[in-house]
Amino acid sequence: MTARPARFWLVSLTAAAAASVSACTTTTAPADPTPPPVTVTVTAPAPEATPTPPAETAPTDAAPAPAPAHETFTMPALIGVNLQLAQDQLQALGSFVLDQTDASTLGRVQVLDSNWQVCGQDPAAGTVVPVETVVVLASVKLDEVCP
């Protein structure tokens, strides 16, 4: 006797399953030729509405509403301050848009902010700026001198 391939068994099982499912179906009786009864509702016409006086309109020369004020803060003096503490001060004032640069022009990245001191800032101390203003802090490592 020769062994049959697995594909043969898969096709055989699929055909058997389809045959058993089709044997389980039922037929429905023909539809009843009598249509269902129809209900008709008649409503009386609505009484006539009395006209209402027009509402008063606002004057057309009214001033437009003022634009919402931007939240601002006064830029603190941060030169000479530890970079981490400078960031904390700015965030306490509502300023979260910060950019940090290496003041030595070596292009280093400030990984541990508490190891750096601020040498320059933009905007300048005392400037009133919106909270969405980008604040740039230039810094060097604590053991270095600001350029």
Is pLDDT at 26 greater than 60 in this prediction? no
Give the model confidence (pLDDT) of 51-100 as tens digits. 666 666 555 566 666 666 789 999 999 999 999 999 999 999 999 999 99
What is residue 77's predicted lDDT score, i.e. its pLDDT?
98
Delimit the domains of the chain by residue range.
Answer: 72-141
Which is more confident, 43 or 29?
43
Mean pLDDT of 28-35: 63
**Per CATH, is 72-141 categorized as 3.30.10.20?**
yes
Predicted pLDDT at 48: 72
Asked if 116 and 139 count as a contact pair (C-beta separation under 8 A), the reply is yes
Selection from 146, 77, 75 nearest residue 117 by Cα: 146
Q: Quickly list DSSP for 5-50.
A: PHHHHHHHHHHHHHHHHHHT--PPPPPPSSPPP------PPPPPPP
pTM, entire model: 0.55
**Which pairing describes strands 98-102 and 135-141: parallel, antiparallel, or unpaired?**
parallel
Q: Is the pLDDT at 133 greater than 50, yes or no? A: yes
d(CA 75, CA 131): 10
